[in-house]
Amino acid sequence: MANKNTITTEFLGLNLASPIVLLSGCVGFGDEYTRLEGFSNTDIGGAVLKGTTLEPRLGNAPHRVYETPSGMLNSIGLQNPGAHEVVDNILPSLEPFETHFIANVSGSTIDEYIEVCRIFDQSNIHAIELNISCPNVKKGGMEFGNDPEMSAQVVEACKGATSKPIITKLSPNQADIKESARKCIDAGSDALSVINTITGMAIDINSKRPVLGNTSGGLSGPAIKPIALQKVMQVYEVAGPQNIPIMGQGGISSVKDALEFIIAGASTIGIGTALFIDPLVCNKINEGIEKYLSAQGLDGVESLVGSLIRD
């Protein structure tokens, strides 16, 4: 077991047992993973709950998941029981909390984001992650996260609806992620989650139809790591000087991956798709981080954040 004094990480005023945060959509509402035999709650700093909307959603038509070379496409469609059900019946079953839980809020209008944040504000979750990679029905289906102005509007509106820390999950499917980060920070985002999945698709060559029922989906896994790593570096150029922490994510599946993200500017690292390959990967990454810090003579993860040397 890794030295917890070394890898303990502060994030949004929370004392995390490790820099690892389990990502939304990969661990359900928490209990599905934390009850896994061999898993220790000291392996992770927190878990982001499944994306939640105001009303229940059944999600997209199948197929919803498809394995690709070094990655996975998913098009779940935000299937969830609705915010009231999560707060009233699911969260109480997790109490007393075994780790730090972060809600993931989604919506198709700004008003829906506001209402879901208000509902979670009355719960014991520790922070709220805004999934702004959702279509704005009032703007013809354009994703909030692909327009820096709309992203900032969501952040500003949600900041007024909750006292919980706000983490904005930035989309890589936009022209200038640094501008989006800047505007979200100015609007009040307390942290940034970098990055969300990359839009992609797969085709069945026999039927000549899209494999996914929704045609396209989000690509995750090792295939997107180089892209995610660059986006973290770019966002850190904006967020670092303002002491806005970054939750780096996108294809992390090894100790080396995790260290690269921290060096690029991530204060915490998100593990998602890798859990489907190795459900107990978190402790292995923790041990590797602790050994690296010891070998480098560093006294904690914070000493490594943003240490990238660029000549």
Which residues are paired to 127 by β-bridges?
A: 102
Per-residue model confidence (pLDDT) at position 296 = 95
Half-sphere exposure of 284 (CA within 13 A, CB side): 14
Antiparallel, parallel or unpaired: β 209-210 and 191-194: unpaired
Which of 283, 265, 232, 305 is CA-nearest to residue 18?
A: 283
Query: How far, in Å, are 68, 116, 288 from residue 97 at the CA level?
Result: 35, 21, 27
Q: For the packed helices 148-159 and 110-121, what is the interaxial angle rounded to 10 degrees?
A: 30
Burial (Cβ within 10 Å: 0-12, 13-18, ≥19) of residue 135? middle
Per-residue model confidence (pLDDT) at position 134 = 77
Is 134 one of the catalytic residues? Answer: yes
Domains recognised in the chain with CATH numbers: 4-50+81-198+220-303 (3.20.20.70)
Residue partners of 101: CB distance under 8 A and separation at least 6? 30, 46, 47, 48, 49, 91, 94, 125, 126
Identity at 185, one-letter amino acid code: I
Per the residue annotation, which of 26, 117, 134, 158 is the catalytic one? 134
Per-residue model confidence (pLDDT) at position 1 = 43
Q: Are 294 and 6 in contact (CB under 8 A)?
A: yes
What are the start-end ranges of the E strands in 7-111? Answer: 9-11, 14-16, 20-22, 46-48, 65-68, 71-74, 100-105
Query: How far, in Å, are 6, 42, 71, 205, 286 from residue 2 at the CA level?
Result: 8, 10, 28, 47, 6
Query: How far is residue 147's CA from residue 175's CA, in Å, rounded to a whole number?
Result: 9
Which of 239, 227, 225, 302 is CA-nearest to residue 270?
A: 225
Reading the block at residue 301, the tokens are 């993860």
pTM: 0.95
Antiparallel, parallel or unpaired: β 127-131 and 166-170: parallel
Rounded to the nearest 10 degrees, how much is the dihedral formed by the CA atoms of 227, 230, 232, 233?
Answer: 180
Q: pLDDT averaged over consecutive 10-residue blocks of the chain (311 residues)?
A: 72 96 89 66 88 95 96 94 96 79 95 98 96 74 86 97 98 94 98 96 98 95 98 98 98 98 98 93 95 95 96 81
